[in-house]
Amino acid sequence: MESDQRPNPLRGRPFHKGNGGRPPGSKNKTTLVAEALLQGEEVELVRKGIELAKAGDTAMLKFFLERIVPKQRSVQIDLPPINSVSDATDALAAVVEAVSRGEITPSEAAGVASAITAYARMADLAETDERLERIEKHLREVEQ
């Protein structure tokens, strides 16, 4: 037997030339049957799931909470304006104060602090670039 005519040890893979496999988004027969059986039963099934969760079924409670409760929330903090690198210190102090007052969680504060720090780094780079350009311009003027 030639190497091209050997049976493929991987079931169905790779596909024969011209056969790209199942189209994206297509469903297998089991999924189609399940959808057909459940059609029209969605409301009743959700109600039953809620009953089970309320009755103490922790798996069902977890299922609902994972889909209903947002994983992250928007954080509202009054921050001072950040116009320079030194202003970032005041902004970070406001974040720490918000945590100490219980307005935000420490993990939420870490996210805000990370954004402030990134902004401060970019502001520092912009200030450094501006200073460098002024120095280079001055040196060119002195050389002439």
CA distance 69 to 82: 33
Query: CA torsion 86→119→106→73, rounded to 10°?
Result: 140
Instruction: Decide: pTM greater than 0.95.
Output: no
Residues 106-110 have a mean pLDDT of 92
Which of the residue ranges 33-42, 54-63, 68-77, 120-129 would you say has the lowest mean pLDDT? 68-77
Mean residue pLDDT of the chain comes to 85
More confident residue, 69 or 81: 81
The pLDDT tens digits for 36-62 are 888 888 899 889 999 999 999 999 988
CA distance 66 to 69: 6
